[in-house]
Copies of this chain bind each other. A is one copy, B any other.
Amino acid sequence: MRIALLGGTGDIGEGLALRLARDTTHEVVVGSRTAEKAASAVEEYADRLGDDLTAELSSAENDDAAVDADVVAVCVPPYHVSDTVESVAGRVDDDAVLVSPAVGISRDDEGFHYNRPPHGSVAEVAAEAAPDAVPVVGAFQNLAAGALADLEHDLGFDVIVTGDDADAKATVTALVEEIDGLRALDGGALANSAEVEAMTPLLINLAVENDGLHDLGVSFQ
């Protein structure tokens, strides 16, 4: 399977690239706005992984990364999601799956808050910008980038998968569970994504307010 990480040099992109490169044998393409930045990130990731690199790791400009990809994860800041999806829309296969891990977060003196987009959630913003034939799945929003990028960190976290296309959700669910220490849970329809995204500022508030809780994740029982 070919997995494109658009914005694969950012926080969540870095963590996903490292974990997928270590825990799977897929083709993982790290995308960035420039080919140079993507290539430099891949060189660094490969260095850090050393002999643990099992995937086929490569780099490309975001637009090129999306070509022929089975899964395209839009790992860019929430305010760039719409533009990024639109810019690759002509290059994404109709049978590809778009994955939305981004969350809109605002901060004030009292803490971090969910900044809900007018479309309901970032995942729905991505769906609005995506070609009609390409399903969007929400996933990975609640993973602390620091934990994900620290390969010594045993995760033990749940990832909630939302979407309206059962096949697309099954693809993403299987991919989540290929990463050591992640369990995928079905969150239902894409319209249920806002409550998943809203948990990310909550996790940051908990990390700020509680000694000993850093790079925390969530599990349900």
Contact = CB atoms under 8 A, between A and B. Distances in A.
Interface stretch (A7-15, A76-84, A206-214): A206-214
A209 B173 CA distance: 13
Contacts of A206: 160, 185-187, 220
Nearest to A116: B116
Interface stretch (A18-26, A40-48, A106-114, A125-133): A106-114
Nearest to A220: B216
Query: DSSP class of A's interface residues: helix, strand, loop or mixed?
Result: mixed
A58 to B, nearest CB: 34
Contact of A205 (B187, B198, B203, B213): B187
Contacts of A190: 110
Contact of A202 (B110, B111, B113, B160): B160
A113 B199 contact: no
Interface in A159-197: 160, 185-192, 194-196
Contacts of A208: 188
A156 B221 CA distance: 8
Nearest to A208: B188
Interface of A: 108, 110-114, 156-157, 160, 185-192, 194-196, 198-199, 201-203, 205-206, 208-210, 213, 216-221
